[in-house]
Amino acid sequence: MLRIFYSPVFKDHRPSVYHPERPERLDTAVDALKARGLWRNVAEPEMASLDDLLEVHSREYVERIQNLSGSFSMIDPDTYVSPGTWEAALKAFGAAREAVFSASGHKGIYLALVRPPGHHAGRNGRAFSAPTLGFCIFNSVAGAAKLAEELEGEAVVIDFDAHHGNGTQEIFWKNPNVIHIDLHERDIYPWSGYEHDAGGRGAEGSKINIPMPHRARDDDYILAWRGIVLPILEELEPEVVVISAGFDGFLGESLTTLQLTERFFSYAGSTLSSYSLAVILEGGYSSGLKKGLPAFIDGYLHGDIQEEPIKPSYEAIRAVETVAEIQSEWWGVRLT
């Protein structure tokens, strides 16, 4: 089962000059899905309510975005708002919630093909020590996770965007019921998400950070996926998994040094095929949307897990070993 939540309203959040987070991203994604026969069961999502936003953001932050959205404005060196931002962000937040509702009711993959992105947005805007919001407005994944927690008693989030989902992690830092697994390139924006960052007091072990080395490839990520991600999912046996789906680590993308291909994304999708997924788009600006996004969905739908031999780098082995050692206090993780 594949269903897509999409609206042309998402393209009304637009910059005044060139910006990598631009409306054309969605055109790229839609064209890629159409080319693979995956553009089907498309539904217009409802807008989120103010109360929905206030479950994960402060009133002061929400009102600031609403007030600034009357005109074009740069709210920090990375992030803009425009006259269409408020409605686009509300509808994106609503789409993420609808994806969770649907995933809870019937097993399948439910894609919220949305923008603006959100996983860097914390409760009050910038999260942890990040210098900017990193293109993000409202944290749709956090809204999805909050709803999943209400429906299922706990929420599981996997974030494979190339950048650490610092906003999501900050919002749920002290919440043991939201398990947040985050694979990302280490030592790049937002300069957080290190191995020992395992959750706040009372929530230790609920945050699993896997910072991967620069120029990591498919085999490196598959090692982390097999050794950390899958064992935790097997322990939890969640009804729904929320995916913070960034494709900016794909080979040819320009914002990171990662060199992932269809092989990893197809593999990741196939290994999740026994779960119901609420997939919310984060990053990805060119090749990742053209190739990584359809590969992930195809992998899920076909469910054909290709367990091929891998040759990860020494740096990746050390990184995963370190995470496994730290997280073994709470989880039965292993390096295979």
Contact predicate 240/148, CB 8 Å: yes
State how far the Cα of 102 lies from the Cα of 15, in Å rounded to an integer.
32
pLDDT at position 335, please? 64
210-249 residue pLDDT tens: 999 999 999 999 999 999 999 999 999 999 999 999 999 9
Report the percentage of the chain scoring pLDDT > 70. 99
Provide mean pLDDT across the span 93-113.
97
Q: Is the whole-model pTM more than 0.85?
A: yes
Of 228, 244, 48, the closest CA to residue 155 belongs to: 244
pLDDT at position 212, please? 98
Provide mean pLDDT across the span 144-149.
98
| Model confidence at 110: pLDDT above 70 | yes
State how far the Cα of 224 lies from the Cα of 335, in Å rounded to an integer.
8
| Model confidence at 163: pLDDT above 70 | yes
Helix 140-152 crosses helix 85-105 at what angle (to 10 degrees)? 30
Contact predicate 119/102, CB 8 Å: no
In the set 57, 119, 120, 163, the catalytic residue is 120
Contact predicate 133/180, CB 8 Å: no
SS (H, E, C) the chain: CEEEECCHHHHHCCCCCCCCCCCHHHHHHHHHHHHCCCCCCEECCCCCCHHHHHCCCCHHHHHHHHHHCCCCEECCCCCEECCCHHHHHHHHHHHHHHHHHHHHHCCCEEEECCCCCCCCEECCEECCCCCCCCCCCCCHHHHHHHHHHHHHCCEEEEECCCCCCHHHHHHCCCCCCEEEEEEEECCCCCCCCCCCCCCCCCCCCCEEEEEECCCCEHHHHHHHHHHHHHHHHHHHCCCEEEEEECCCCECCCCCCCCEECHHHHHHHHHHCCCCEEEEEECCCCCHHHHHHHHHHHHHHHHCCCCCCCCCCCHHHHHHHHHHHHHHCCCCCCCCC
Measured over the CA atoms of residue 293, residue 327, residue 255 and residue 126, the dihedral's sign is positive
Provide mean pLDDT across the span 105-124.
97
Confidence of residue 98 (pLDDT cuts 50, 70, 90): very high
Neighbours of 94 (CB within 10 A): 23
| Model confidence at 336: pLDDT above 60 | no
One-letter amino acid for residue 257 of the chain: T
Contact predicate 32/20, CB 8 Å: no
Peptide bond into 312 cis (omega under 30): no
Give the class (CATH, top level) of 2-327.
alpha beta
Active site residue 120: yes
Distances (CA, A) of 36 to 52, 269, 302, 326: 34, 15, 13, 41
| Model confidence at 1: pLDDT above 60 | yes
171-219 residue pLDDT tens: 999 999 999 999 999 999 999 999 999 999 999 999 999 999 999 999 9
Q: Which residue has the tokens 């990040």?
A: 130
Q: Which residue has the tokens 């020494």?
A: 314
259-315 residue pLDDT tens: 999 999 999 999 999 999 999 999 999 999 999 999 999 999 999 888 889 999 999
By CB neighbour count within 10 A (0-12 exposed, 13-18 middle, 19+ buried), where does 205 fall? middle
Contact predicate 105/153, CB 8 Å: no
Q: Which residues on neighbouring strands pair with residue 241, listed in sequence order?
A: 277
Delimit the domains of the chain by residue range: 2-327
State how far the Cα of 101 lies from the Cα of 301, in Å rounded to an integer.
19
